[in-house]
Amino acid sequence: MPILNNGDCRIYWRGDGDTQLPGLLLGNSLGTDITLWDPMLESLMRHFYVVRFDTRGHGGSDAPPGPYSIDQLADDAQAVIAAARLTHYHYWGISLGGMIGMELAARKPTGLKKLVLSHTAAEFDPGIWDQRIAALKTGGMSAIIDGVIGRFFTPEFVLQNNIRLKRIRNIALSQAPAGYAACCGAIRDMDLYPRLARIQVPTLVVVGESDLSTPEARGQALVDHIKDARMVKVKSAHIAPPEIPTEYLAAVLPFIS
Ligand X SMILES: O=C(O)CC1=CCC(=O)O1
Provide the binding-site residues for ligand X, judged by CB under 6 A.
29-31, 95-96, 148, 151, 187, 213, 238
Q: From the CB of 3, what's the least distance to ligand X, in Å? A: 23
> How deeply is 245 buried, as exposed, middle or buried, from its count of CB atoms within 10 A (0-12, 13-18, 19+)?
middle
Q: CA nearest 189: which of 144, 137, 127?
A: 127
Q: Please list, in sequence order, all residues whose beta carbon lies within 8 angstroms of the beta carbon of residue 236, skipping any fewer than 6 positions away.
A: 119, 153, 154, 208, 209, 210, 211, 243, 244, 247, 248
Q: Which is nearer to ligand X, 83 or 184 (CB)?
A: 184
Residue nearest to ligand X (CB): 95
Rounded CA-CA distance 121/137 in Å is: 25
For the CA atoms of 90, 120, 185, 77, the dihedral, rounded to the nearest 10 degrees, stands at 0
In whole angstroms, the minimum distance from the beta carbon of 254 to ligand X comes to 25
Could you give the CA distance from residue 11 to residue 220 in angstroms, rounded to a whole number?
A: 32
CB of 132 to ligand X, least distance (A): 8
Instruction: Name, in order, each residue with C-beta under 8 angstroms of 21's C-beta and a sequence gap of 6 or more.
Output: 47, 48, 49
CB of residue 4 to ligand X, shortest distance in Å: 22
Cβ proximity to ligand X, 151 vs 233, nearer residue: 151
Residues 6+ apart with CB under 8 A from 248: 40, 206, 234, 236, 240, 241
The least CB distance from residue 24 to ligand X, in Å, is 19
Q: Based on CB atoms, which residue is closest to ligand X, 82 or 212?
A: 212
- Tell me whether residue 39 or residue 98 sits nearer to ligand X (CB atom): 98
Q: Which is nearer to ligand X, 29 or 154 (CB)?
A: 29
Residues contacting 166, CB < 8 A, separation 6+: none
Residue 102 or 148: the one with the smaller Cβ distance to ligand X is 148
CB of residue 119 vs ligand X: minimum separation in angstroms? 8
